A = this chain, B = another copy of it.
């Protein structure tokens, strides 16, 4: 069933920009060598000889992109939601992540993460593993075998965590990170490493400095957390009194975009200076609405980031968020934007469904290149949904069926999935 060139028939939805949702009922999406050759009302003569994937009556959307997810935390999705960030890390996240020193445990847990992601609507993700090099490589092996595309980070952390989950010194951390980078760089077709300081409270300046050097040496992107929670922001100010704002504490070490791709998760509490620097450096905001709700962090000003033209996508942030599907993140993003508008700031209009769909497809997809749309030239990630389970009495336009999928789809509705033009099953 694997094929890199084909013509797919179905009810198509895709975005070019946040404001414009394109839909085509009973249209043709042509894939040539893993990339879109375009969308057509009738199949052009030139493609008449391609194999046909006939998904008539099904909803077909670009693969969804998860810009921020913690694979080892998937074991406790939907649990321990009664704490704020720093206590939640101590009580739930750190003890669980410590278990990944055990490769048997890691294999069981990561297998379930990868299997569930494979069968849901996401095709790409930027993933935090743990600080353990071997378990991180195992996760990368499993992701590569699944056919998904992912950037995966061995996490770095050398302070403010239990002995069982802390690197011994900046030097030891650098050595382990170098081993992991050497082992993983160029080893995979679809999976690649990404430098991953957990966040400033977990990383000494000495470690950050070394990570900045490794980043340059191996020419890899960066992911971390930024301005999620009040206690965390205050702690960063205390730990890095020299920093002008939280983001500056990454920027100082060359870990805040500019000459490299960089994702910062959350950005709930970013101030004007921080936002200006994110924009200047092209930093991607990974908006994680469910996690920011569960950990009572607040609601990020996504509308402002859209208006100012920042790079932006969505993150599930499992297990701060409970659900892998980025459809759920789209719904959550719309919903919390309404509460923000109602309770906090009526100058920022709520998100629309097309905007949320763009964030979860082309918005986040741009971090991976030309990804997240069906426009010609885009890498062809496509998800075929059987939405008959929730079909109403009267037929709906494709656009309405998409809105419904955002609110109601379940992973089992995904009946076929292509990544870079290759079917995952």
Contacts and interface: CB of A to CB of B under 8 A. Distances in A.
A338 interface: yes
A314 B308 CA distance: 39
A343 B298 contact: yes
Given A343-B343, A393-B105, A294 B75 contact: no
A226 B342 CA distance: 18
Interface string A290-302: 1001101111000
Contact of A79 (B338, B344, B403): B403
6 smallest A-B Cβ distances: which pairs?
Answer: A78-B407, A296-B338, A78-B404, A322-B407, A75-B392, A343-B343
Contact of A76 (B293, B392, B410): B392
A151 to B, nearest CB: 24
A336 interface: yes
Contacts of A392: 75-76, 109, 112
A296 B350 contact: yes
Given A76-B392, A339-B293, A403 B108 contact: no
A353 interface: yes
A43 interface: no
B81 A353 contact: yes
Interface in A80-136: 80-82, 105, 108-109, 112
Contacts of A400: 79
A77 interface: yes
A394 B76 CA distance: 10
A390 interface: yes
A406 interface: yes
A81 B335 CA distance: 9
Given A75-B393, A77-B404, A408-B323, A294 B335 contact: yes
Interface in A314-337: 322-323, 331, 334-336
A342 B336 CA distance: 13
Contacts of A79: 396, 400, 403-404
9 contacts: A76-B392, A79-B403, A79-B404, A293-B339, A294-B338, A297-B342, A322-B331, A322-B408, A410-B410
B343 A339 contact: yes
A352 interface: yes
Contacts of A323: 407-408
Contacts of A80: 403
Given A75-B392, A353-B82, A393-B108, A343 B341 contact: no
Contacts of A410: 410
A339 B294 CA distance: 9
Interface of A: 75-82, 105, 108-109, 112, 290, 293-294, 296-299, 322-323, 331, 334-336, 338-344, 350, 352-353, 390, 392-394, 396, 400, 403-404, 406-408, 410, 412
Q: Which residue among A290, A293, A404 has the maximum number of chain B CB atoms within 10 Å of its CB?
A: A293
Given A81-B353, A353-B81, A109 B393 contact: yes
Contacts of A342: 296-298
Contacts of A82: 350, 352-353
Contacts of A353: 81-82
A322 B353 CA distance: 14
Contact of A390 (B78, B294, B299, B393): B78
Contacts of A294: 335, 338
Contacts of A290: 335
Contacts of A338: 293-294, 296
Contact of A299 (B296, B297, B343, B408): B343
A332 to B, nearest CB: 9
A79 B341 CA distance: 20
B407 A81 contact: yes
A203 to B, nearest CB: 27
B299 A339 contact: yes
Contacts of A112: 392-393
A290 B335 CA distance: 8
